[in-house]
Amino acid sequence: MNWYGFWADVIVGIHVCYVGFVVFGELAVLVGVLFRKSWARNPWFRCVHVAAVLIVGIELLLGYDCPLTVWERELRDLAGQSRSGQTFVGQCLHSLIFHNVDEQTILWINVAVGLLVVLTFAVFPPRFRRTKGPLGKTAIS
């Protein structure tokens, strides 16, 4: 068994989960807000979600490649595999998030998704619970 290829497949699987969290998380928030569901304003989920998007945005602004992409690429090179993987799982997962489009299009898609998430966060902010403190004063928790 080629362990480098195996770990490259694991990394691309994690990458697919990250992208899925950003895309489907935003869709869930929009649907939840539309139907006035309280979970759509969960502060933990919303803050982690916007942080995931901001990480990608910072990478784009600074011109860095995604660390997951770099790590997968290095493991594929060590395994002697093509960048899109040679295993069935690797190829399937890789094809979900990497496409043959120019970098300008990818940049605009990332910017559009990022702006949508940040705009949604600003217009429909998470709701933090208010609790009574030890002196009876209202505190945010």
* pLDDT-based confidence at residue 137 (cuts at 50, 70, 90): low
Inter-CA distances, 50 with 18, 36, 105, 119, Å: 12, 20, 22, 10
What b/e string do you get for 68-82 counting C-beta neighbours within 10 Å, with b at 16 or more?
bbebbeebbeebebe
For residue 121, what pLDDT is reported?
A: 95
Among the ranges given (9-18, 59-68, 82-91), the one the predictor scored with the smallest mean pLDDT: 82-91
Q: Is the pLDDT of residue 78 over 90?
A: yes
For 80-133, give the DSSP string: T--TT-SSHHHHHHHHHH--S--HHHHHHHHHHHHHHHHHHHHHS-----EEE-
Are 52 and 18 contacting, i.e. CB atoms less than 8 angstroms apart?
Answer: yes
**Domain extent for 96:** 3-140
Q: Compute the C-alpha angle 53/38/24, nearest 5°.
A: 35
Over residues 39-50, the pLDDT tens digits come to 999 999 999 999
User: Given pLDDT bands bounded at 50, 70 and 90, which one contains residue 54?
Assistant: very high
* pTM for the structure as a whole: 0.83
Tally of domains in the chain = 1
For residues 46 and 127, the answer to whether their CB atoms sit within 8 Å is: no
Beta pairing class for 138-140 and 130-132: antiparallel
Residue 90 C-alpha from the chain's centroid: 19
pLDDT digits 0-9 by tens, 102-115? 888 888 988 999 99
Integer Cα distance of 127 and 40 in angstroms: 9
Collapsed DSSP state (helix, strand, coil) of residue 136: coil
**Residue 61: alpha-carbon gap to chain centroid:** 16
17-31: average pLDDT: 96
